[in-house]
């Protein structure tokens, strides 16, 4: 008996295969996940779609200027990274993923918006995208997910799975040296030289002192840092409202906005607006007629 391969694109999930009695047909359930990226201003009720695809676009992030959005999409059958100019709608493929790796992490911008970092199967990729042809560098010895750049762009902070939770470490550009910072629960943020942990319901110092706590029905769904300041979004499932918080250089927690929670997963935000992706799952029963040789 010989085996024959049936090829399907990534992100098409096959379930419950069944062979007909006469062996001439194969039936199965085909599940496709699709969704688009939306941007919504905090002061607006309606969100604007940045992508229109029958596939899946997600993991979007704003450039530092707020002019561009980088996002992942499998519109061509596997994960790739695109950049879109928000106002004019111009779009560019900056990472074609030639090896068709299934897992690409969320793109992370450097401070001037000239470079993006992400992981392909947890191996670092850097893209300088502003020239006619993107310049791509691979660092397969850096294993983890890039989370944010240092303020001077000379280092990056990564996370990966450790024995006691998430392991956080830095990677230096000049000497490619890695240094472990912390291993445990929560996301590690550098706030002006202090290390804080952002957990689903709390903001803590590295020593565990609670600086902020959400309501029981709420959780911190997105956060970002710059220099000595922190911003985060708290979403409440009971009220369907979200809050935009800012921690200033004096360590004061300030509520900036309250807005209707977007119908999707928040991936990034800035001072004026929030990025999110919606998700749809389509299922079809498919029958293939088999031609045996």
Give me the domain span that covers residue 125: 36-277
Integer CA distances (angstroms), 137 to 50, 68, 113, 270, in order: 28, 21, 17, 28
Tell me: do 31 and 131 sit in the same domain. no
Tell me: do 51 and 137 sit in the same domain. yes
The string of pLDDT tens digits covering residues 138-170 is 999 999 999 999 988 999 999 999 998 999 999
Residue 5 has pLDDT above 70, yes or no: no
pTM for the model stands at: 0.84
Tell me: do 221 and 101 sit in the same domain. yes
pLDDT of residue 251: 92
Tell me: do 9 and 145 sit in the same domain. no
Tell me: do 21 and 117 sit in the same domain. no
Tell me: do 207 and 292 sit in the same domain. no
Tell me: do 137 and 272 sit in the same domain. yes
**Cα(192)–Cα(227) distance, rounded to whole angstroms?**
5
pLDDT band per the 50, 70, 90 thresholds, residue 35: confident
Tell me: do 218 and 268 sit in the same domain. yes
Tell me: do 15 and 81 sit in the same domain. no
Nearest to 134 by CA among 121, 117, 149, 115: 115
pLDDT band per the 50, 70, 90 thresholds, residue 55: confident
CATH number at residue 235: 2.120.10.30
Tell me: do 3 and 130 sit in the same domain. no
| Whether 252 contacts 230, CB under 8 Å | no
Tell me: do 88 and 15 sit in the same domain. no
Q: Which residues pair with 139 in a beta bridge?
A: 124
Residue 64 has pLDDT above 80, yes or no: yes
pLDDT of residue 1: 44
pLDDT band per the 50, 70, 90 thresholds, residue 263: confident
* Domains identified in the chain, total number: 2
Tell me: do 178 and 210 sit in the same domain. yes
pLDDT of residue 54: 74
| Mean pLDDT calculated for residue range 178-206 | 93
| Whether 198 contacts 190, CB under 8 Å | no
| Mean pLDDT calculated for residue range 6-11 | 55
pLDDT band per the 50, 70, 90 thresholds, residue 8: low
Contacts of 209 (CB under 8 A, 6+ apart): none
């Amino acid at each position: 008996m010989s085996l024959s391969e049936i090829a399907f694109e990534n992100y098409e999930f096959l379930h419950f295969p069944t062979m007909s009695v006469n062996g001439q047909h194969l039936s199965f359930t085909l599940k496709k996940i699709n969704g688009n990226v939306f941007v919504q201003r905090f002061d607006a009720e309606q969100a604007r779609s940045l992508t229109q695809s029958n596939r899946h676009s997600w993991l979007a992030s704003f450039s530092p200027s707020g002019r561009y959005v980088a996002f992942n999409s499998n519109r061509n059958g596997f994960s790739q990274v695109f950049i879109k100019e928000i106002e004019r709608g111009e779009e560019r493929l900056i990472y074609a993923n030639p090896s068709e790796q299934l897992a690409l992490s969320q793109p992370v911008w450097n401070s001037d918006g000239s470079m993006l970092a992400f992981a392909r199967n947890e191996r670092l990729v850097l893209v300088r995208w502003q020239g006619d042809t993107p310049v791509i560098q691979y660092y397969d010895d850096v294993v983890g997910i890039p989370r944010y750049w240092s303020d001077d762009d000379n280092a990056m902070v990564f996370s990966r799975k450790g024995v006691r939770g998430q392991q956080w470490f830095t990677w230096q550009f000049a000497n490619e040296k890695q240094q472990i910072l912390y291993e445990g629960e929560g996301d590690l943020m550098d706030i002006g030289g202090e290390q804080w942990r952002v957990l689903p319901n709390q903001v803590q110092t590295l020593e565990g002192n609670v600086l902020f706590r959400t309501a029981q029905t709420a959780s911190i769904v997105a956060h970002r840092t710059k220099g000595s300041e922190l911003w985060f979004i708290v979403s409440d499932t009971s009220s369907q409202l979200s809050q935009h918080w800012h921690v200033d250089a004096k360590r004061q927690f300030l509520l900036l906005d309250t807005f209707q929670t977007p119908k999707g997963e928040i991936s990034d935000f800035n001072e004026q607006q929030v990025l999110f992706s919606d998700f749809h799952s389509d299922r079809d029963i498919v029958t293939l007629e088999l031609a045996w040789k």
